[in-house]
A and B are shown apart, each in its own frame.
Chain A
């Protein structure tokens, strides 16, 4: 299904057209528990030909830089604007992936994005889920786009 290629393409499109930050994808993590060291995450559910979740996870400084660039303003703490901005990135990334799968006659529906923040949190899903995490490097560090999915 080429999840990684679709995620990289749509993420690069979002950052080049609406955030104006240079990003570089790194090799994906595909197996096992990962400690990402992130402080703010936004996620969106997917249903249809497969079910799953797409999320963006950021350390605090990276989340502030991305949301600040998106809103064209200085942001110095994780607040509602940061969560909202990351929620929109998750929404657009899921939309881009939906569009790419639609070209292969694989239909998906999107939920409404949600966001969380904190010093330490764990995101769990059914143990049978497939999981793919792609790191992206920006000047301030790395953020991660995660896809968890179950083939129906």
Chain B
């Protein structure tokens, strides 16, 4: 069965760029799902089988960190790996994200190679 990725970012542009970068990195997903904030992401995870999540941090409604916290409290989805993709990649915020279960972080702007290096080991 093919793999599914969920891209979480309030910017439609950035969701398209991440999707394009996955293709350029040679990472082939059968299904690419999108969400515009943390709450939408929780809804998508509740309704779909997702293999990995790429999430922004700085989003309205529910931030990436709030999303991680809520996800960690839900047994049905807590083990789905999440990689943060954000301009916010200071050590303090990344440490906080990892304490809520994030598996890695990619700084914007990014290259397809960096996506591949970070995401590859999780698939």
- Taking beta carbons and an 8 Å cutoff, which residues of A are in contact with B? 13-14, 17-18, 67, 70-72, 80-81, 84-85, 87-88, 91-92, 94-96, 98-99, 102, 110, 112
The answer to whether B58 and A110 touch across the interface, beta carbons within 8 angstroms, is yes
Output the nearest chain A residue to B9 by Cβ-Cβ distance.
A88
The answer to whether B111 and A84 touch across the interface, beta carbons within 8 angstroms, is no
The answer to whether B88 and A88 touch across the interface, beta carbons within 8 angstroms, is no
Residue of A70, A80, A95 near B17 (CB, 8 A) is: A70
Interface string of B103-115 (1 = CB under 8 A from A): 0000111110000
Which residues of B (69-106) have their CB < 8 Å from a CB of A? 86-90
The answer to whether B13 and A92 touch across the interface, beta carbons within 8 angstroms, is no
Q: Determine the distance from Cα of A13 to Cα of B16 in the docked complex, in whole angstroms.
A: 19
Chain B binding surface, main DSSP class: loop
Total A-B contacts with CB atoms under 8 angstroms apart: 59
The answer to whether A87 and B87 touch across the interface, beta carbons within 8 angstroms, is no
Q: Which residues of B contact A112 (CB under 8 A)?
A: 10, 58-60
Output the nearest chain A residue to B16 by Cβ-Cβ distance.
A71
25 pairs, CB–CB < 8 Å, chain A vs chain B = A18-B17, A18-B108, A18-B110, A67-B13, A71-B13, A71-B17, A84-B11, A84-B12, A84-B13, A85-B13, A88-B11, A88-B13, A88-B14, A91-B11, A91-B58, A91-B87, A95-B89, A95-B107, A96-B87, A98-B90, A99-B89, A99-B90, A112-B10, A112-B58, A112-B60
Output the nearest chain A residue to B111 by Cβ-Cβ distance.
A17
Q: Determine the distance from Cα of A151 to Cα of B120 in the docked complex, in whole angstroms.
A: 43
Q: Which residues of A contact B110 (CB under 8 A)?
A: 17-18
The answer to whether B13 and A70 touch across the interface, beta carbons within 8 angstroms, is yes
